[in-house]
């Protein structure tokens, strides 16, 4: 029985590490939309999309815009 509990602990530890890695990447931006919208406004200020966008590709859109 100890063999199975050790395997469960290893698997649970792996899941915890993956969850901890995904939190700042995926879940925190979803929880703090206004903060990230303001940050993107600051980061993209002064950028002319037509100058940096390759020809034939879709122009940037707001990644936080809900349709």
pLDDT digits (tens, 9 = 90+) for 14-60: 999 999 999 999 889 889 989 988 998 898 898 887 777 777 777 77
How many CA atoms within 13 Å lie on the side-chain side of 58? Answer: 3
Higher model confidence: residue 10 or residue 58? 10
Does residue 64 register a pLDDT over 70?
yes
| pTM, rounded to two decimals | 0.50
The predicted pLDDT at position 35 comes to 92
Does residue 61 register a pLDDT over 80?
no
Does residue 10 register a pLDDT over 90?
yes
**What's 1's DSSP letter?**
-
Q: 41: closest CA among 62, 25, 26, 65?
A: 62
């Amino acid at each position: 029985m100890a063999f199975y509990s050790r395997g469960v602990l290893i698997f649970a530890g792996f899941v915890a590490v993956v969850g901890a890695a995904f939190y700042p990447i995926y879940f925190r931006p979803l929880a703090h939309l206004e903060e990230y919208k303001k940050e993107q406004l600051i980061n993209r200020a002064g950028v002319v999309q037509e100058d940096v966008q390759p020809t034939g590709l879709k122009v940037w859109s707001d990644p936080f815009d809900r349709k």
